Amino acid sequence: MSKIVLRGGQASTVWGRFQQNLERLKRVGLGQWAAEKRQRARYLLARWGRDSKAADAKWRSLAGAYEGQRAFLIGNGPSLNKTPLYLLRDEHKISFNRFYLMLDRLNWDIEFHAIVDDLLINDMIGEMDGLSRTARHLFLPDIHIRGDTFYDKIADRDNLYWMRYQAGGNGFSASLPAVWGGGSVIFEGFQILRFLGFREIAMVGVDLRFQAHTTAVTVAGAANGIVPVKDDDPNHFDPRYFGAGRRYHNPKDEVIQRIRSGLDDVAAVMPRLGFHVTNVGYDSSVESFDRMDFQAYLGKTPEETRALFEDLIRKTTRLTSLPELESATRPVATADELRGASDGVVAPVSIAAPLVGSKVLTHVALGPYLDRLYFIPRDR
């Protein structure tokens, strides 16, 4: 296991550190430079007061536990609504943030789960007990890089693992609990998976096609912090994901660029750390990794695909088979028909996927299967 500093690490001499600080000051201006220094001081002070030996020791049981195996890293982009996630029932998977909103549309439970955004964690503290029971392994920062402490706010559990941020520079760690951030929780996700021993990682749902969240308002005292006033998140698979009252950091252009740079960093360290990433997502704008069609990558036969879809039907509805599902739904051919439907319907993915969010409170969307999405009323 190792930690690789990619760029921006602290210089080894006083003169070198002075030059680094001067260059940063010129690049970002006095206000941001001073804020970054206060943030770093706050983090280091909190870190100094934290005895993490017991928490760190827990990680040893996970080191290389899945050596040589394959895992799926699942982002939360809108493309998940056209992705047959039920095909991943027997795969290892890591998910993030409010992915649990997807659970009533799946035939599997959360295995590995990580959350790192400080605004999001603070808003979810009351949900953490439930999430730690839902996920087999939960990963959180003990102290956020901005200085918020969570180890003293969230009850420890046997399946809760505290990550420890590296202060300064950009890097990739395969020696957890030490991690670097990269603008998105998926960056920590890659580090977790490599530490667990996974050598082949398939990435899905990382669209990186952000739109402005026009109804969100600024959060006072939080840099780039915004909070929506409606359940109308345009950037994730469910409009409630960052819906009314759910604070998060606005994905501005510089944030998106940092995420893309972080993904390029993952691609750069892959040969050195002996793992490989394939982007199998629909509608993904990420070009850092090899690309492959999701279903071609899995290589399921038609019989295997149908069996897994029928397993999904049994686990999410009162129905027991595909013929029963077909009998319980009627075909619709236009977006207006789908919007107005209160009964069970089935529609082509091209029409249905963009409208999953508008039906989420009244219907459960199942599929896609054979390029169609099925909508079952929640009261049935």
Same domain, residue pair 371 and 259: no
- pLDDT at residue 172 greater than cutoff 90: yes
Closest alpha carbon to 88 in 112, 68, 58: 112
Same domain, residue pair 284 and 322: no
User: What's the pLDDT at 219?
Assistant: 82
- pLDDT at residue 32 greater than cutoff 70: no
Query: Residue 332: pLDDT band by 50, 70, 90 thresholds?
Result: very high
Same domain, residue pair 163 and 195: yes
Residue 69 domain-assigned (yes or no): yes
User: What's the pLDDT at 225?
Assistant: 83
Q: Which residue has the higher pLDDT, 4 or 378?
A: 378
Same domain, residue pair 272 and 369: no
User: What's the pLDDT at 11?
Assistant: 41
Same domain, residue pair 367 and 267: no
Q: What is the pLDDT of residues 242-291, one digit of tens each?
A: 988 898 887 778 788 889 998 999 999 999 999 999 999 999 999 999 99
If you ran DSSP here, which 8-state letter would residue 149 be given?
B
User: What's the pLDDT at 10?
Assistant: 47
Closest alpha carbon to 164 in 195, 135, 131, 134: 195
Same domain, residue pair 66 and 164: yes
**What average pLDDT score do residues 338-365 get?**
96
Query: Mean pLDDT score of the chain, rounded to an integer?
Result: 89
Which structural domain, as residue segments, surrounds residue 364? 302-377
Residue 264 domain-assigned (yes or no): yes
| Euclidean distance between CA atoms 337 and 359, whole angstroms | 12
User: What CATH number is attached to the domain comprising 93?
Assistant: 3.90.1480
Structural contact between residues 165 and 145, judged by C-beta atoms closer than 8 angstroms:
yes
- pLDDT at residue 369 greater than cutoff 80: yes
Same domain, residue pair 58 and 110: yes
Q: Which residue has the higher pLDDT, 352 or 32?
A: 352
Q: What is the pLDDT of residues 177-215, one digit of tens each?
A: 999 998 899 999 999 999 999 999 999 999 999 888 888
**What average pLDDT score do residues 62-85 get?**
97
